[in-house]
Structure 1
Amino acid sequence: MGFADQRFTVNLSILFTELPLLERPAAAAAAGFGAVELWWPWVDSPTPDRSELEALKKAIEDAGVRLTGLNFYAGRLPGPDRGALSVPGEESEKFRANIEVTADFAHSLGCTALNALYGNRVDGTDPAEQDALALENLALAARAADRIDAVLLIEALNAAESPLYPLVSAPAAVGITDKVNEATGLGNARFLMDLYHLSMNGEDLPSVIERYAARTGHVQIADNPGRGAPGTGSLPLEDLLDRLRKAGYEGRVGLEYKPGDRPSAEAFAWLPTGARAAR
């Protein structure tokens, strides 16, 4: 097996960011990719003007790439203010306003995976209150995803970079997917297995794969240390992806790494050309 046997998608919110947003889909296509994913692109607006949505949709369609994953509104990423859906007040209201906007935009492009970042703990707020709010909002997101035949992804981050984020292990994130599925009865909440974040938390990655591959709706990678391209750190990513395939994971693998001090188009020398092209 190996990298050549995977289906990769490139995340346009961390790669090709040296370019304006509307130029990134074409740049990904020029680098040989047939599929892209995005964090919510409008960090200050959960409900951007329709003209902005249409412009991005056109850029993706004109580039001939497929949007395969999209985050709900989550504040400014990357950064410490991760997520909105469990934050009482204005942020969770923004998340709710964004749910149908995200779902409709994803549906217009055939995207079938929506990622909802859980949200940080807030000083002076009872964690139980935040968890109840999170479950309520995740259930709304799961229903919106179900309406467009999509899965709802729930992700573990890492404690070093997101110290206030409560889901910093695979069991914690999978436990929330169970609660959402129980609350909705839909069964469409799935684990987003980000091997970089899990490795930063010191988890036994082969064990995580063995336990949770069947519960996984998407996989993302970056090397560690440094969050760079495969081969820039010490993670055995090729072996880990082979383990995932052998464990039954047949989905795409998102490239969510930093290109380093070079144009993003030069950050894919490790990747066989044939693994980039699948739409």
Structure 2
Amino acid sequence: MRRKLYAILNAIIVVVLIGWNGYANSGNFNGKNVGELSAEYNNLFTPASYAFSIWGLIFLSLLIFCTYGLYYAFNNKHRDLLRRLCSSDLVSNSQEKFENRTDFILTTAPFFFIANVLCSLWVAFWLEEMILVSVLIMFGLLSSLLICIKRLDLEIWDAPIHIIAFVWWPLCLYAGWISVATIANVASYLVSVTDFTIDEQITITIVMIAVAVVINLFMIVKRNMREFALVGVWALIAIAVRHFEEVKWIAYTSLLGAVVLFIAAGIHGSRNKETSPIMKYKEYKSLSK
């Protein structure tokens, strides 16, 4: 019963989040949208405007997560199939850990729901230009997603294709972008309260880019979260695109960081081909015959 309830609540809050974002970014709330307000604060870490189109992919992935969550919660046969696909994990781990890894609805509850509530609140407080409050909310949002990642043991066990595609990837995309957005949000707050010189802004931005690269490398090496890092590549390239004409040090640093992350993700993927999504899909097809 709890599984079904949380699956329904997750679906409702994601639909509300998407609808609210559409309404707020149309200028109907406070006369501005998120991108316009970001441009006003002119923090140098903010990427080129096209980068924010990734929200379309994130929202689509969240809808997939919730749709699969409903299917998982209401389909006993599919849950049994998933348990069979994960049976090798039960041999090497306790029953509790096995349940936590496979029953993603209950494992992420209530933090996935909380994350989407906080994401909705962030839009409201950001558009009201309550920057410090928006920073605190952003940290809460990122923390909620990281708790989901930790509790699911995301990408550190040999999961079936369903878990990889419909649970792991949506959370990786979401958390990857929110990690970048958190850094940008902090930068906006610093710009709003301190009168930095342009040289100071450039230095701070380069430090923030380095922090972003280190975080994403950590996610590749320690958590196998290549998708998380590819979101970082997207953001860093967009930062470089924004600054190529005027602030070349930032552009070159961002581009270098993007190349490092892309190569690191590629090397990691080539070393783990045996557990790639393609191999896991073939495994599923052979078992479901």
Name the TM-score, length of structure 1 as normaliser.
0.30
TM-score normalized with structure 2 length: 0.29
Q: Indicate the structure with greater helix content.
A: 2
